[in-house]
Amino acid sequence: MCAVLSVSFVVPRAYAQMPDPRLMHGQAIPAGELAPGGVTVRVVRQMVGNNIAGVDVELHGTGEVRRATTGADGRAQFAGVTVGSRVHARAVVEGEQLESSPFDVPAAGGVRTILVAGLGLGSGGVATQPPPRIAAGDPARLSFGNNTRFAIEFQDDTIAVFYLLEIVNATGAPLGLATPLQITLPEGATGASALEGASPLVAVTGRQVTIAGPIPAGVTPVPLAYRLESWAAREEIAQVFPLDIAQLAVGVQRLTGLTVESAQASNIRDATLGGHAFLIASGPALAAGTPLRLTLAGLPYRNPWPRYLALALAAVVAGAGIWLARTPRSRDDNRRRTTLEARRAKGLAGLAALDADYRAGGIAEAAYQRQRAGLLADLERVYAELDAGGRPPDGGRGLAA
């Protein structure tokens, strides 16, 4: 199940993909929200989001050169540019001359473009100084901000865990790291990956998440996901983070009998988000290095031993089949009887596994009765053929496979 969550607790399956700023530099992007003749030029340093204010921007191609200055959002605004004219933008940042590709002003909507300084995409200027280096986890400079969220859902017999982390760098300039930030996911985590829209600074290998520097000014998205494929009726998830978390918020999909316990996020309430029931656990800030512990009680525990039994019996049956294939038989009825006995063993194993799953609460009553009736009918047919000496009473239709 993929829940749609509301603004009060946003758990997106994907962030908007963040393109490489080198590929964005100087490219025209249609902007239907702008009025006809509107042109916006954004100036950033090295990364999108690291806006530069106070830069004079020129727009050429309309006859007289038009000029505007970037605001706090790094944007210079031009209105009433002649529709159909072919223009290009220019700006100089610390001696580096930046220029966009020429583009046509459309009759409907406007155009946005971006100029990226500090990556050697312009001409002139001096080499950009590397950002200052800080120790990983310096709480005075980096933190996981207020929009950081955690979510737990139950999908296809697995527990899906989402870390929707947002690193906040409020210094106004990129920060290098003496060592990369590291997050080691809990024991049992499988299929770990960064979700779409994660910063290119994020790398995931096995249970290890690495976030390299420099960390740009503003917000760096680090959305992660992993699975837990086995669990007990009472399961604790513990996770240590390398930065302070400004505020804890954890959403857990609501199941009958499920409870959530956490000393750090002790304020727990029910919520309906996108038509789905959730438990929302919230709490104050969590210091870097302090484990976030969350206990899920009343989980739909599934005992693994019936599955192991069925696999073991299947292996025995397969081994017997191989042995029989290598052992010549003179009579067809002996071979037929051996096949029926192997099918009987497989059916009994399946019946035992189904009964155990039902006793553990892992299957609904109606589905259990339907599957059990089918297994019993197949077994009765196998027994009937065995009693008849291996000859199908009705030609073999419906024999348990």
Tens of pLDDT, residue by residue over 50-75, are: 889 999 999 999 888 999 999 999 99
Residue 223 three-state SS: strand
**How sure is the predictor about 112, in pLDDT bands with cuts at 50, 70 and 90?**
very high
CATH superfamily for 15-117 is Carboxypeptidase-like, regulatory domain (2.60.40.1120)
Q: How far apart are CA 129 and CA 9, in angstroms?
A: 40
- The Cα 56–Cα 70 span in angstroms is 7
Task: Write out the E strands in 14-105.
Answer: 29-31, 39-45, 56-60, 66-69, 75-78, 86-93, 96-99, 103-104
400 pLDDT more than 60: no
Q: Is the pLDDT of residue 140 over 70?
A: no
Instruction: List pLDDT tens digits, range 269-328.
Output: 988 877 788 999 999 999 999 999 999 888 775 545 455 555 566 666 666 566 555 555
Per-residue pLDDT band at 15 (split at 50, 70, 90) = very low
Q: Which tens digits make up the pLDDT trace of 199-237?
A: 889 999 999 999 988 888 888 999 999 998 877 778 889
pTM for this model (two decimals) = 0.50
Give strand pairing partners of 147: none
What is the DSSP secondary-structure string of 156-192? Answer: TTEEEEEEEEEEEETTSS-BEESS-EEEEPPTTEEEE
pLDDT digits (tens, 9 = 90+) for 78-98: 999 999 999 999 999 988 999
What pLDDT was estimated at residue 163? 96
Q: Hey, is 354 helix, strand or coil?
A: helix
- Domains 15-117 and 142-297 belong to one CATH topology: yes
The answer to whether the beta carbons of residues 251 and 152 sit under 8 Å apart is yes
Residue 134 Ramachandran class (φ > 0 left, ψ -120 to 50 alpha, else beta): beta
- What does R_g of the chain's alpha carbons equal in angstroms? 31
What is the C-alpha separation between 255 and 277, in angstroms, rounded? 8
Task: Please say whether the beta carbons of 260 and 279 come within 8 A.
Answer: yes
What's the CATH fold of domain 142-297? Immunoglobulin-like (2.60.40)
175 pLDDT band, cuts 50/70/90, is: confident
- The share of the chain scoring above pLDDT 90, in percent, equals 37
Domain boundaries defined on the chain: 15-117, 142-297, 305-387
What is the predicted pLDDT for the residue at 397?
A: 41
**Diameter of the chain measured on Cα atoms:** 101
